[in-house]
Amino acid sequence: ELKVEQNPLFLSMQEGKNYTIYCNYSTTSDRLYWYRQDPGKSLESLFVLLSNGAVKQEGRLMASLDTKARLSTLHITAAVHDLSATYFCAVDIRGGADGLTFGKGTHLIIQP
Amino acid sequence: DAGVIQSPRHEVTEMGQEVTLRCKPISGHNSLFWYRQTMMRGLELLIYFNNNVPIDDSGMPEDRFSAKMPNASFSTLKIQPSEPRDSAVYFCASKRTGKSYEQYFGPGTRLTVT
């Protein structure tokens, strides 16, 4: 059974600081996804990582994938309040046409 | 593009009643997924379809749950009879086939069973 673990599950930080969210998964996969969810809202796709060593950046967020370590990271640079949300990583293991297995999410609060 | 459309957005029903949730995927997407989100269990995949055919329903919790996709533009998730533990947000998502494409999620249906 595929397991996806995120840490931390809760994170409170100040604006301007840097931090990293970690996502470990238990089965070989070269496809990892990061989503953002605001309270009471749906999931918004942030990044799709498709190969070992993949790195993608959008604004203050950067995601990377190490398939050998079965680890992805989401790095936040100089955090701003608008990035407060819950961040999920998710993995699929069979060709991209399958459903996703999600981590429990990291609830991020960025204080002004 | 209108995005994934779900209806209703909110549903409150009494235990034992039948509930039907509806989803219209993004045009041109040939994979459709149903997920459930609760505080206790997080986001769980219930079932998914490729080209209207159910591929994996191992996540459907019980026989009370059923899903259909009669055509490329419509899917339903039915719960009969409903129970309080079915209370959750149910998301529908769709994507194009191929590993480089991500899933796009609908707004969700918040179901409350009293």
Nearest CA to B22 among B68, B86, B82?
B68
Distance from CA of A90 to the nearest CA of B (A): 10
Ranges under pLDDT 50 in chain B: none
Residue B28: strand, helix, or coil = coil
- pLDDT bin (cut points 50, 70, 90) of residue A97 is low
pLDDT for A106 beyond 80: yes
**C-alpha radius of gyration, chain B, whole number:** 13
Position A30 pLDDT exceeds 80: no
Contact B67, B60 (CB under 8 A): yes
Q: Output the pLDDT for position A96.
A: 52
d(CA B32, CA B48): 6
Question: Is A97 an 8 Å CB contact of chain B?
Answer: yes
CA distance A89 to A97: 17
By Cβ distance, the residue of A35, A48, A98 closest to B48 is A98
pLDDT at B101: 80
Give pLDDT, residue A29.
78
What is the per-residue pLDDT across B50-79, written as a single tens digit (0 to 9) for each? 999 999 888 898 899 999 999 999 999 999
Question: Do residues A24 and A32 lie in contact, with contact meaning Cβ atoms separated by under 8 Å?
Answer: no
Interchain proximity A96–B101, CB inside 8 Å: yes
Mean pLDDT across chain A: 92
Any chain B CB within 8 A of the CB of A41? yes
Q: What is the pLDDT of residues A51-81, one digit of tens each?
A: 888 999 999 999 999 999 999 999 999 999 9
CB contact (8 A) between residue A48 and residue B50:
no
Amino acid A93: pLDDT: 67
